[in-house]
Amino acid sequence: MQKDDGIYIFNFWASWCKPCVTEMPVFETLANNFHINKVSVIFISLDFKRDLKLIEKFLIEHQIKSKIYLIDEPDYNSWIDKVSPQWSGAIPATLISNGTRQEFYEQSFDYQSLSDKIRHFF
């Protein structure tokens, strides 16, 4: 990875995962509060492609403004280790990177614990 001056938070989630849905506002608030520090949140959905309309409706209802991507690869074993060898595949999961450093977490976050993790990247 090459360093730029941004911090990227990749959150792996699914609309059927209650802890994922519960923590999404935490990520949105953090992105708003730290945007001046070039912190970007990217949500990566593990929902099925056939549920795309439901996901779009979900995002509108929950007023999610961060970028969202849907992984259209049913063979999770082909890419999970590329995200982190420590990842069992459980969600929610979060990868934080600034280009030269990255940390992976297989857990839920509240605002304070997530902002503490982000501060280590400044």
Instruction: Report d(CA 93, CA 64) in Å as an integer.
Output: 18
pLDDT of residue 74: 73
pLDDT band, very low/low/confident/very high, at 73 (cuts 50, 70, 90): confident
Average of per-residue pLDDT values in the chain: 90
Task: Write down all domains in the chain, each with its CATH number in brackets.
Answer: 7-119 (3.40.30.10)
Region 1-11: mean pLDDT is: 78
Query: 114 in helix, strand or coil?
Result: helix
Sheet holding 102-105, edge to edge: 67-70, 39-45, 7-13, 93-97, 102-105
pLDDT bin (cut points 50, 70, 90) of residue 4 is low
User: pLDDT tens digit string along 30-52?
Assistant: 999 998 889 999 999 998 888 88
> Which position has the higher pLDDT, 11 or 61?
11
